[in-house]
Each structure stands twice: as structure tokens, then as C-alpha cells.
Structure 1
Amino acid sequence: MKNETTIFGIRAIIEAIKSGKNIDKVFLQKGTRGELFQELEYLLRSEGISSSYVPVEKLNRLSRGNHQGAIAQISPIEFHDIDDLVLNVIESGKTPLFLLLDQLSDVRNFGAIVRTAECTGVSGIIIQKKGGAPINGDTIKTSAGAIFKIPICKVDHIKDAVYHLQSSGIKVIAATEKADDLLYDISFKDPCAIIMGSEGRGINPSVLKAVDTKAKLPILGEIESLNVSVACGAFLYEAVRQRS
């Protein structure tokens, strides 16, 4: 993690939030108390900024001890507004292909997916504000710089994004082993969005209930699932094949 994308110290983070810095995630030391710390916690909640409580050892590794109980990561990219992005894609005349990521936690998986999404002409990626992997140096490296070339939106809840896309005439397809149909039986030719779930939990059940259709990959071996970035690549390239 590079210093220019990191802020150390409770007061410094509070001022960064108040000045409108694009904070991606904040790590807070477990057991920390005090009025200033409580003010930071309140700001994080009110602004919807992702945060997690971690042992002091993790903060020490990230900052070599100079952190005062809090470290913030500044996003290296500017996030797009979902309303503007969807409208712009529709008005461009290109057939929309969106990708929704339901709380992926691994930055390398995230980076690999962004790279594949850029290579397959994805219109934009939609992620949730809380619970997902931060966009940091590892994400940039794994994406091979694609993170700067594809629009990314942050929303309060993935389910809200599903409803928004559907109301815009975009079919939402969930990639899940809970499906009856294989992805090869699903049409990706019309405007659509693909949802990929998190590494351990998959797609949130409430989100699954909201989608238009579900699809799965055929698994011929004994291991029951693929790495999420590999599965995502298979889905995106099936869309490319059908649209070619």
C-alpha cells in the first residue's frame, strides 16, 4: 500500500472525510475509546464509509506504528453515479452489459475481474459501499491498470442496483450454483447485467430473489465450485460469444 493512498490518525481521517476525500475503507483499532474516536465512528456511519475493527498488529504492519488507532485508504479512482452511467450507456446505442459484485472480499479477485471486464467490453461495474474489497495497490496491480479504464459505481445495496437496472430494461442474471439452467442456455444478447457473489457466501439470498434469471457453470470434477474470477470470466466470454 502506497503512502499517497493512505491517511494515518483519527483527526486526519475526520478532516479528510469532512473535506470530501474519496475514502474507500477505514481500519479501526479494536478497543479504542475517546470522544474523537467516537466522532470518527459517527462520521463513518453517517457517510456510509466501509470500516472494520482490527487488531493493533495489523495497523502496525500498515503504518509501522504511526497510526493512533485508525488508518484510512483513499480510493485511487473516482466513482460514477449509477443513474448517469446507466443512462449514458443506453443513450450510446451500445447493448449494455453490466457486472455487479456482491461483496467480494479478495482484492486480487476483484482486480482480476476488473481486468477481464475491461477486456470483454463491460459497460460498468457496480459494487456495494460496505463489505467489499478495497481498491488499493494490489487491486490496481492485479487489474493491470484496467481499474482506470472502466466505470465503477458504489451503491448502498446491490439489491437497489438490481431494481434500478430492471426498471431501465436491463435483465439481471445471477451466476449461482443454485440455478437449474447452464449459462449456455441463457441469452446474453439483450441488455443484461451479471451478478457474481462473494468468495465464501455467494450471492445474498435477498438479491437472488430479485433477479430475472439464474445460471450456473457445468462442474465436471469433484470440487464443487470455481474461483469467482474464473467463473466471472466464463460468464463474460459467453456474453461476448453470443454477441459476436
Structure 2
Amino acid sequence: MKSARRPLLSNHNRCWIWGRNAVLETLRANYWTILELLYSDRCEEAALREAFDLAARFDVVITYVRDADITKQCRSEDHQGLAARMPPFPYGNVADLWKQLPENPVLVMLDRIQDSHNFGAIVRSVDVLGMHGVIVGTQEQSPVNSLVARSSAGAVNFVPIVQTESLTATAEELKERGFQIVGASDHATQPIYATDFRGPTVLIIGNEGRGIHPTLKSLCNHFVQIPVLGRVSSLNAAVSAGILFYEVLRQRRDGI
């Protein structure tokens, strides 16, 4: 099944995703267009067969290389013999998001989430727990990169992720459209289960160290917190987001 070995394409873009599941999920979705696939002898036959079929369908170059070459490109040995070189992530815009929202949506606004693992884990929870889209800014925000893609378990290919120049202006527009704006905060006194999430809602998850920006805070209708019992007084952004999303899902599924 080997193709003739040939020189790698120019590596001007440093975003690689790797591993059987991450690469195949990206190929299947055909949303974030792959520039080039690399495979080595370590790639399992079934995965390689599917990769070849999908690459042919979507006109993606696939190249056989040594296993060490993939390790060098990814700077990781856990690639399972399969890697993909990616262009910049194709963010949507807010205007596109309006067109695809269902009735009574829940959106997640990320205010300067800088840890790529947190970002990816939040996107994964958005997909699993049924939120309807993610809004990010252009300043101080982790981009969708290889770490985000991998920690999202491929969810970046399915969750609408839109980028805006101004989170504040977007939040103002959402509020004008009838959304309640809810900020997650360790300092809030209102627990998540005492807040009604059954109407159109924007959930704001703030920066890992500084929380929600003051201009966004001024637009919030409510601030909510997750009650904790241990000596560590707070949860990280991704864990907090997952718990908050589940409470939203629970209320909408059970009625309250």
C-alpha cells in the first residue's frame, strides 16, 4: 500500500495533528482541510486503508515516510504512524452562526482562554453536552491548534467555532437578541443549580488567571459558581465548564 517516497511539502505551517483517531476524524469531517498526510509502517492496516480511501475522495496528498520523520514533525512519538499537516483553522463568523442556530440555543463564549488543553477540553464538552456553538476573540486567545484538536477528541470539526474582533460587541448583540448572559465565577454567590438556563443563554468562561474581563462582566445578567467542598477552592476552566454545561443539559432535559 506504499506510495513512492517523495520530499515532504514545505513546512511553513507548524500545525500538525497526529494519531489514528484525531487524523481519521478530521478526514471524515472534511471541514478543516488537510494539506498533506504522512504515514509510516507503524500505521495499522485498517486505519491506513480508511486514510487512503478518504484521501482519494477529498484529493489529499498522502506520503509514506519513516516513522522517525513523523516523530520529528510532530515532536511526539505517540502518532501511531499517521499525521496530518494543517492550514490555519477555518473559524466561522457570527453572521454565519445566526443562520445555523436552533430554537432556544445555548452558546459558550470563551474570554481569553490561553491553555490549549483547556480550550480543546471545553470544545469536547460543548459537543458531548449539547451546547450549540463557541465564540472566541482574536486577542489573548489560544488558537485552534494541534493541542486543541487532540484534546477536543476531534470535536473542533463538528462544533461551530466562531471568531469575533470584539467579544463585548458580540455579547451586546446577543443580549439585544434576547439571550441572557451568564458568567462563571468563583466569587459568585448564586450556585449553578439555582439559575434558570432554559431560555436562550450565553455562558461566559473567563481567563484561567484573571477571570472574565470587566467589560463583559458589566453585561452579565447573572454570575454563577460551582459549590466546592475540598481545600482547593476552585476548579480549572475546562472542568468548571463541563460541570456548568451538564447543569444546563439537565435543566433542559428534566424541565428544571
How does the TM-score come out when normalised to structure 2? Answer: 0.65
Corresponding residue of 1:120:
129
AA aligned opposite 2:114: S
RMSD: 2.5
Q: Does 1:178 align with 2:187?
A: yes
Corresponding residue of 2:14:
6
C-alpha spacing 1:3/1:141, structure 2 compared with 1 (3 Å): farther
AA aligned opposite 1:139: V
Gaps of 5+ in 2: 1-9, 16-31, 33-71, 76-85
Equivalences for residues 218-237 of structure 1 within 5 A: 218-237=227-246
Selected match of 2:95 from 75, 83, 89: 83
Larger radius of gyration: 2
2:192 and 2:205 map into 1 onto residues whose CA distance is 13
Deviation digits for residues 48-85 of structure 1 (CA, Å, limit 9, x no counterpart)? xxxxxxxxxxxxx9999xxxxxxxx942x321121231
Q: Does 1:161 align with 2:170?
A: yes
Structure 1 runs (4+) deviating above 6 angstroms are 61-64
Secondary structure of the corresponding residue to residue 233 of structure 1:
helix
Selected match of 2:150 from 123, 127, 141: 141
Aligned length: 179
C-alpha spacing 1:134/1:84, structure 2 compared with 1 (3 Å): closer
C-alpha spacing 1:147/1:63, structure 2 compared with 1 (3 Å): closer
Secondary structure of the corresponding residue to residue 218 of structure 2:
helix
Deviation digits for residues 75-106 of structure 1 (CA, Å, limit 9, x no counterpart)? 2x3211212312431xx4x3201000000000
1:62 and 1:160 map into 2 onto residues whose CA distance is 39
1:129 and 1:206 map into 2 onto residues whose CA distance is 16
Selected match of 1:103 from 94, 108, 112: 112
Deviation digits for residues 124-173 of structure 1 (CA, Å, limit 9, x no counterpart)? 10001111112111111110100010111111122112101111111110
More helix per residue: 1 or 2?
A: 1
Equivalences for residues 188-227 of structure 1 within 5 A: 188-227=197-236
Name the % identity: 30
Corresponding residue of 2:23:
none
Secondary structure of the corresponding residue to residue 159 of structure 1:
helix
How does the TM-score come out when normalised to structure 1? Answer: 0.68
C-alpha spacing 1:222/1:154, structure 2 compared with 1 (3 Å): same
AA aligned opposite 2:100: N
C-alpha spacing 1:220/1:157, structure 2 compared with 1 (3 Å): same
Gaps of 5+ in 1: 8-21, 23-60, 65-72
